[in-house]
Structure 1
Amino acid sequence: MDRRKFKNFKSAAGMVSKRLALPLCILLSLSACQSTKQAVAKEESLPTWATQQPSSDYLVYGVGSASHIVDRTEAKLAAQEAARLAIAKQLNVEIEGTTQVAQSQANGDFSYRVDEILYSRVPSIQLQGINIEQEFYSSEQKTAYALASFNKIESRMHAELDIRQLDEEISNATISALTNSEKLKEAMAIKRLIAKRRKANEYHRQLGGGSIAIPTSVSNKNKMLNDFIQSLTFSISSKFWGQKSIRNQLAESLTKQGLTVVGEKQSADFQIDFRVDFEDVKKNSTYYVFANSSLTLMENDKEKAHVSAQIKAASSFENMAKSNAEEKSAKMLSKKLTMLIIDSKI
């Protein structure tokens, strides 16, 4: 073959090669795009648990999600928290459907008030032992998903052990102090354990375990504490002339709180000495009365506690303003005295 013919043959072959290469490139490109789309589709396919929450006889599951959060790590953390809250919400729904709170004031108003205040101060038991089982992040939706689980059977067992331990502590606790004020502190310490036991029992019910019966030893101890608290007596007096009406109002307020108030000349476990100083101001046909009050609690002529209060009363009538100020002062002092007893600060 001469050079001219070879050159023409080579040129023709090159053209054929290019014609074949172009479709091949397009085919490969389409194949690659298809593979990418399949990979994305596979990646974006939500796991079953994200749309259909699992169920179990002993595990509580919660699914949480978080979107519109730019940072991927923060989105995951938010989804985890949402999953935990989903579990807590499910347990709360169970409580509302099965729990009935029965309360009695049979042991006296003051004992009832003590129980309720101490109970309110015991922190609620937080759900512990929640595990994050699965996580998923959708790049297309910019949404994080999390699956959490909580073993309520195991947690219920731990709660029951805590209650049994509290029952033992309460049963073994004693009141051995010599003075009533010290006995009162010991009584309140045991009362706090009883309030803690009540909170733990409520948590046990939240987990579906029902209420654990209070042992007779604990019931007897609580009754003994209530009887002791109700047996304490208070006498009220003031060294300032003209404050007998305030004394009567303070006595009435303490009685409503459930405390036992005796006459001024009667023997009492605690003596209360109070004073109230008034300042009258008239402005634009309105009478304002500012009262600075104080109360000292004594036991065997020794000061055990001191409280003070400042209030303001107003009325179009001078006598009414003064009367309102006296009543407010008595109620405030009574409330502060009650809290001193509950907080064991006497």
Structure 2
Amino acid sequence: MTRQTPLGDGLTVSPLGFGAMAVAQVYGSVSHDQGLAALHSAIDQGMTFIDTANVYADGENERLVGEVLRDRRDEVTLATKFGIVGLSISGESRPTARGGHDYVLACCDESLARLGVDTIDLYYMHRRDVSVPIEETVGAMAELVAAGKVRHLGLSEVTADEIAAASAVHPIAAVQSEWSLWSRDVESSVVPAAVAHGVGFVPYSPLGRGFLTGTVATLSDNDFRNKIPRFAGANLDANAAVVDVVRGVAAELDATPAQVSLAWLLARATTMGIPSVPIPGTRNPARITENLGALSLSLTDAQITRLDAAADLVSGARSGDPNWVSQGRE
């Protein structure tokens, strides 16, 4: 895969990225070798936009990505993030956000050391610290660009107003938020704001944290999805209706539910006039190949209409704390 997708601020990346959180002990146990194999397979197949964060596995995910980068740095567009503290997969503690000037600068240096690189291609504010003016946070990020430690800036789970305020400080290349067939709240104001300010969009969990693939029936005890309302109790069973719609379209196209879900998201972004690069994650190299198949899948207008309607079938919120995501602050 040689084609590239432009986001914002002159940044171009592979048309699908790889969400490295999937190999960070978040969705259950995964071995070190399994994580390395998945990352190498993604790059081998042209999925060279790799996304991690300092908080994933308490920095170990960045170190894992760094192992891959030792010999393949020139092949990869590297994204990482700062801003979440106190993340607990078990749910025993509630995470908080930090965005103070000195904290931002320190986090970048720590990430550079763990990754073993001199420069981060895309550096995200992972969550908005509402106790700190966003101008201060983005101003510190802009200093990192001036110092050559970061090439482009990104924001995650921000509101339309926050996009506007941040863009007044420094050009923003990408906004990353959850966006998929069953998480469409960003379409009301976040996506239009990104379009207005020339910002690309990077949907995380574009497969509904794996649910839209049709392979999620039960969750292990150490799976953080247990804390998400739409995966809890009766909601998990009720949401099977969404997957049924996706499966129906997949059968018509001789495709998989994952491919249909990604193809819908790419088509939806095009309709809304925004460059978009989803970042599905997986531990299985075969799934990477499968996901890339979405790039050549075409949906009919009738199929898109059926998939659009599936959002009305979703039961349960996408976050246990609405204020933790942009939807709760809009």
TM interval, short-chain normalised: under 0.3
User: TM-score, normalising length from structure 2?
Assistant: 0.23
Give 1 or 2: higher strand fraction. Answer: 1
TM-score, with structure 1 as normaliser: 0.22
Q: Which has the larger radius of gyration?
A: 1
Relative contact order, CA 8 A, sep 6+: which one is greater?
Answer: 2
